[in-house]
Structure 1
């Protein structure tokens, strides 16, 4: 699909006013990347992961993971919509907890954005945009929305809690609890060439720090191929 189509989808993405009412400090930085070449973990992605692990170990030597400022902010956000942060860990907390013993090595693309997430303590999600139905939307769920999960080799449909903050498209929920669990329907795989990255920010993370993380992600992705095309947008409170 043409880059112009990516820009249209980016422009059509929305965050519900109900989400900003819950957290007026929230910002979503969306990045759509076209023409991503697939590949296994390599020396460059390994270097990023090792740097992220070292960064995480330094932070964890200074305070518990739950007191890292941006992770602490996400724990409070989860409490605000009724999800226990001790039971449901936001994505960057879950990754940071693994960093001391070693982050997972998945593939080049996943390694890159996991490394940026841990280094900057920012939840980052990666979605296969070609599997989307319409633009991305962040809403507070009614509880009737469909969320597909894989269980026992089969796809079953679950539903978010009423009031839960979820990312979705026109077909259903793509990620539950803001940045807790992605559904298999839009997950990245070996055929993915077009990705929507979602960087979630709360205070005390500044717009400048959010932009630095996005720049590092974009730089790492553009190094994969001269054919990579990137468009980005920040959605914040009006």
Structure 2
């Protein structure tokens, strides 16, 4: 499977970086109590932080709102996934445990203040490209409705788009039957190459500590816009 960063993305944001973790032989199951407790505590602490300052003052949220605008999307009308999560927490509408992959995905998104998505590799068809959505781009999302993705970043395979910093598709969702997955970290463009790889690798190590299996970590960027994963 080849993973590509569309030159059109780099034309708009030359410092754009996409962190990728490819997991194999993982076990997705109910989260251990440690992870459940850590996610709950983190949300409670965030709630108090959000009581002192608005969501849009958090550095990661602010930077991603600017990225949204650069691609032509409206960050107030279509909030990126991390801002949406934090606004839920500000209302004490805390996330309930789902399973280990989703819980870790949400934890990373809140911890790093960036959109993060995880996908079942066996449901991805062919190669993957991160590009910008057109009027025709859209899918049935995990939010239970069809989502138009015009002027938003999208991960797309041979069948069409399946992921976005906005909301992910139901087609490639990770379940407790998933054993191979792809974890995408929509990194802050202001991060340098070393910081980007360090974050992606640390998240991958934590994921496999809980879910087992093996991980390979990569960062797609201007100097390395393509990688090939051997499945």
Alpha-carbon offset, residue 61 of structure 1:
4.6
1:193 equivalent to 2:179? Answer yes
SS in 1 for 2:98: coil
Residue 104 (structure 2) aligns with: 112
Structure 1 gaps of 5+ residues are 1-8
TM-score by length of 2: 0.83
Within-5 A mapping of 1:1-238: 9=1, 12-54=2-44, 56-57=46-47, 59-100=49-90, 101=92, 102-145=94-137, 147-149=138-140, 160-161=149-150, 163-175=151-163, 178-224=164-210, 226=212, 228-238=213-223
1:137 and 1:56 map into 2 onto residues whose CA distance is 33
TM-score by length of 1: 0.81
SS in 1 for 2:65: helix
SS in 2 for 1:134: coil
Alpha-carbon offset, residue 224 of structure 1:
3.0
The alpha-carbon distance between structure 1 residues 58 and 218, as it changes in their structure 2 partners (threshold 3 A), is farther
Residue 229 (structure 2) aligns with: none
Deviations along 1:77-109, one digit per CA (max 9) or x if unpaired, are: 222222211111111111122234222321122
Structure 2 gaps of 5+ residues are 224-231
Q: For this pair of structures, how many residues does the alignment match?
A: 220
Residues 140 and 165 in structure 1, CA contact (< 8 A), matched pair in contact too: yes
2:47 and 2:79 map into 1 onto residues whose CA distance is 19
